[in-house]
Amino acid sequence: MTDAPRHTALDALHRALGATMTDFAGWDMPLRYGSERDEHLAVRTRAGLFDLSHMGEITLTGPQAGDLLDYALVGHLSALAVGRARYTMICDAEGGILDDLIVYRLGELEYLVVANASNAQVVLDALTERRGHLRRSRGEGFDATVRDDRDAYALLAVQGPESSGILKSLTDADLDGLKYYAGLPGTVAGVPALIARTGYTGEDGFELFVAPGDAERLWRALTEAGKGVGLVPSGLSCRDTLRLEAGMPLYGHELTTATTPFDAGLGRVVKFDKKGDFVGRTALEAAAERAATDPPRKLVGLVAEGRRVPRAGYAVVEAASGKVIGEVTSGAPSPTLGKPVAMAYVDAAYAEPGTAGVAVDIRGRHEPYQVVALPFYKRQR
C-alpha cells in the first residue's frame, strides 16, 4: 500500500479552478489549469502564479550554522550576506549530487535551506547527520540547530515581466532595491512574507514564503492584482518547459547521485577556497581536474530540425553510424522557439555548439538535431 499524496493549503482552490492534478514527489499538485502552452507564454510575456508549497524548507540557527553549511554543502554559505540567497548543492562523499538547493541568510545566526520536494527528507537527514560529524573525535558537533520547517510554510511564486508591478501594488517593500537572489521580510496584501527575488522560469519574478493559513488569502489578492496585466494560474507542466528553455537543471534528470556539479557544467558552485574540509571535497577535486582535461561527457542543448519530440532516456546517436554518443535528460516542445528542444549528456567530441551529424533515436527513427549552447532562452534584462 502506498501513502496517499499530501495536499497543499491551496488544494481546494486549485480544484475549484479546474486544475488537472498530478502526484508529484508525494504531493497532489496542479499540472495545468488549461493550456500549458498558454500558461508558458503568459509567464514569458505577462505573468504566471504558481503554488510551490511542495518544496522543502529547513531552518538552521545558532553560532555555527554558517560553518555547518560550509561543511555540509559545496558552497561558501558563511560568507553570504544577510538578506541574500545562493544557489548551491549538497553532495555525497563521492561527489554525487544529493540535491540542488537555494540557501537564504535570514539573519546573522539563521539560514533557510530550500530543497526539492523529492529530496527534502534526504537533505534534512544529511544536514542532521553532518551537524555532529566534523568534531566526532572531540565528542561534540557544530553549535547549530537543524529544524524541519516543511509544515511551517506555503510557497507561492509570481513569475514574468509583469510580476514586479503586480507585487508593488500589494506591498510597501522596496522591490526596486531587491536584487536577484535576495530576500527581505515584508507584508504582501497584509500577509507577512519572506519576499525573495528568485525563480525557476528564466524570467524576473518573486517567491513568497508565508504561513499555510495565509496562502489562499494571498493567492486571491495576487490574482485580483494581476487581472489587468493578464496574470494566469500556472502549473508544473509549464514550469518544466520554462526551466528547460532557460537551461536550468532538474534533479533526477540533469542532476543525480551519478553526476557531479562539474559533469553538469556547474562547477562554479563548488568553492574549494573556503576554509576547512567539506563533504565530497576530495572526489570533487578529482572531478574538477577530469572536467578540465578529459571530460567523458558534457551537458549540451539540442534543437530539433523536425517536429518530433525527444524525451528523457532517449539515445543521442551519431547520424551516420548510429553509434550511441549520449542520452537525453529532458526534452519537450519549446513554445518560445516553436520547435522541440532537449538537454542531453553527450560524448565530449560531439559537445561543441554547431557540431553536425547528431541525431536522437525517437522510437527507432534517427531525427536530426543541432547541438547548441545552453540556455535556449535568455530574457532581456
Is 306 in the same domain as 231? Answer: no
And the C-alpha cell for 344?
542531453
Residue written as cell 496574470? 231
Is 241 in the same domain as 157? Answer: yes
Distance CA(341)–CA(303), nearest Å, equals 5
Task: State pTM to two decimals.
Answer: 0.96
Helix (H, G, I), strand (E, B) or coil at 346: strand
Helix (H, G, I), strand (E, B) or coil at 206: strand
* CATH code for the domain of 37: 3.30.1360.120
Is 316 in the same domain as 184? Answer: no
Is 310 in the same domain as 161? Answer: no
And the C-alpha cell for 303?
534543437
Last residue of a domain, one of 245, 264, 283: 245
Distance CA(281)–CA(273), nearest Å, equals 11
Residue in 154, 146, 148, 234 with CA at minimum distance from that of residue 192: 154
Please report whether residue 72 resides in a domain: no
Residue in 165, 196, 218 with CA at minimum distance from that of residue 51: 218
Is 49 in the same domain as 162? Answer: yes
Last residue of a domain, one of 245, 280, 305: 245
Cβ of 130: how many Cβ atoms within 10 Å?
20
- The pLDDT, as a whole number, for residue 136 is 53
Domain containing residue 163: 6-53+153-245
Please report whether residue 210 resides in a domain: yes
Distance CA(62)–CA(317), nearest Å, equals 52
- The pLDDT, as a whole number, for residue 3 is 79
Residue in 62, 199, 56 with CA at minimum distance from that of residue 120: 56
- CA 108 from centroid of its chain's CA atoms: 25
Please report whether residue 205 resides in a domain: yes
Please report whether residue 362 resides in a domain: yes
And the C-alpha cell for 340?
522541440
Edge-to-edge strand list for the sheet holding 205-210: 183-188, 191-196, 205-210, 154-159, 48-51, 232-233
Residue in 35, 38, 7, 41 with CA at minimum distance from that of residue 21: 7
Please report whether residue 16 resides in a domain: yes
Tell me the pLDDT tens digit for each residue of 76-102: 999 999 999 999 999 999 999 999 999
Contact status, residue 188 vs residue 171, Cβ threshold 8 Å:
yes
Rg (CA), the chain: 21
Last residue of a domain, one of 245, 269, 287: 245
Please report whether residue 251 resides in a domain: no
Tell me the pLDDT tens digit for each residue of 265-277: 999 999 999 999 9
Q: What is the pLDDT along the chain (381 residues), one digit of tens a residue?
A: 467 899 999 999 999 999 999 999 999 999 999 999 999 999 999 999 999 999 999 999 999 999 999 999 999 999 999 999 999 999 999 999 999 999 999 999 999 999 999 999 999 999 999 999 755 545 678 999 999 999 999 999 999 999 999 999 999 999 999 999 999 999 999 999 999 999 999 999 999 999 999 999 999 999 999 999 999 999 999 999 999 999 999 999 999 999 999 999 999 999 999 999 999 999 999 999 999 999 999 999 999 999 999 999 999 999 999 999 999 999 999 999 999 999 999 999 999 999 989 999 999 999 999 999 999 999 986
* CATH code for the domain of 335: 2.40.30.110
Contact status, residue 153 vs residue 209, Cβ threshold 8 Å:
yes
Q: Who contacts 215 (Cβ-Cβ below 8 Å, separation ≥6)?
A: 8, 9, 10, 51, 53, 154, 156
What's the total number of domains in the chain? 2
Is 172 in the same domain as 47? Answer: yes
- Please name the amino acid found at residue 172: D
And the C-alpha cell for 151?
509544515
Q: How far is CA 313 from CA 327, 330, 339, in A?
A: 6, 8, 19
Is 237 in the same domain as 175? Answer: yes
Please report whether residue 277 resides in a domain: no
Q: How far is CA 51 from CA 8, 28, 36, 131, 306, in A?
A: 8, 11, 15, 31, 34
Please report whether residue 90 resides in a domain: no
Is 159 in the same domain as 44? Answer: yes
- The pLDDT, as a whole number, for residue 1 is 47
Distance CA(93)–CA(127), nearest Å, equals 14
Is 311 in the same domain as 192? Answer: no
